[in-house]
């Protein structure tokens, strides 16, 4: 059993307009996932510094950040980051450059949690449907071209409002979607912008949207989660 989660943490700015990294960590502790894909994990301007600082993670969490930062002080790549248990082993990681009008990227890590090795892809796709499809094609091509295939989990904020068109149809040709439910807006979730997708080697045993009182305030997105097993 492997528990994964995806969370657009909105740079830790809550629906009350307060920035509180500690509140984000509280939500992550409530979910207690083995692997977490984060979006908007770094500040937008200046040094693009990580919102969840190394000190906060070390002293107040059970996770380590995969070393994806391209800037000193950043956690991720274009705001995308991956957290894994401190007991997990990071076998490999890389950044994926995505076609876009504004800077966009995805991140990928091969992670061993206990005896289970999985490939994790985190992403935050464009607001434009045309660019989302181009970005999906880039991600799918990169994963398919890997010389070392692994069971794969892809997670993130896809920014796709339609049910079965656009990039969802593209991803759905090779991946199964966890039926997590609406995660946006946190105060009144009506849209399934956040998604978890798994390759054919994996089965979704359980999944959902985390709707605790803290989660409803910590970001404008609710986190989603899924428990995975082998087929």
Domain boundaries along the sequence of the chain? 2-230
**Cα-Cα end-to-end distance for the chain:** 11
**Encoded tokens for 191:** 């849209």
Which pLDDT score is estimated for 4? 98
**How far is residue 19 from each of residues 9, 23, 134, 213, measured CA to CA in Å?**
10, 9, 33, 16
In this predicted model, what pLDDT tens digit does every residue of 120-165 receive, in sequence order? Answer: 999 999 999 999 999 999 999 999 999 899 999 999 999 999 877 8
- Residue 72's pLDDT band (boundaries 50, 70, 90)? low
Helices and strands, counts by H and E, the chain: 5, 12
HSE-CB of 90 using CA atoms within 13 angstroms:
18
Contacts of 106 (CB under 8 A, 6+ apart): 77, 80, 95, 96, 98, 121, 122, 123, 124, 135, 139, 156
Do 74 and 47 form a contact (C-beta atoms < 8 A)? Answer: yes
Averaged pLDDT, 171-180? 96
Do 197 and 171 form a contact (C-beta atoms < 8 A)? Answer: yes
Q: b/e string for 29-48 if b means 16 or more Cβ within 10 A?
A: eebebbbbbbbbbbbeeeeb
**Encoded tokens for 186:** 């946190």
SS3 of 182, please? Answer: coil
In this predicted model, what pLDDT tens digit does every residue of 97-108 receive, in sequence order? Answer: 999 888 889 999
* pTM attached to this predicted model: 0.95
DSSP string, 161-179: -SSSSHHHHHHHTT-EEP-
In this predicted model, what pLDDT tens digit does every residue of 196-213 receive, in sequence order? Answer: 999 999 999 999 999 999
- CATH code for 2-230? 3.60.10.10
């Amino acid at each position: 059993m492997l528990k994964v989660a995806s969370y657009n943490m909105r740079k830790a700015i809550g629906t009350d307009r307060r920035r509180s990294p500690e509140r984000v960590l509280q939500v992550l502790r409530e979910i207690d996932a083995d692997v977490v894909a984060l979006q908007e994990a770094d500040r937008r301007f200046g040094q693009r510094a990580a919102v969840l600082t190394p000190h906060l993670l070390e002293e107040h969490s059970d996770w380590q950040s995969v070393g994806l930062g391209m800037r000193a002080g950043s956690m991720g790549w274009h705001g995308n980051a991956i957290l894994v248990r401190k007991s997990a082993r990071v076998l490999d990681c890389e950044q994926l450059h995505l076609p876009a009008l504004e800077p966009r990227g995805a991140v990928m890590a091969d992670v061993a949690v206990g005896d289970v090795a999985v490939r994790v892809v985190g992403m935050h796709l464009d607001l434009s449907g045309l660019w989302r499809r181009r970005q999906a094609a880039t991600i799918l091509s990169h994963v398919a071209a890997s010389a070392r295939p692994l069971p794969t989990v892809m997670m993130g904020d896809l920014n796709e409002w339609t049910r079965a068109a656009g990039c969802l149809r593209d991803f759905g040709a090779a991946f199964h979607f966890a039926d997590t439910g609406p995660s946006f807006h946190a105060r009144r979730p009506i849209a399934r912008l956040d998604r978890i997708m798994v390759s054919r080697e994996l089965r979704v045993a359980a999944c959902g949207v985390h709707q605790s009182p803290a989660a409803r305030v910590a970001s404008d997105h609710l986190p989603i989660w899924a428990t995975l097993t082998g087929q």
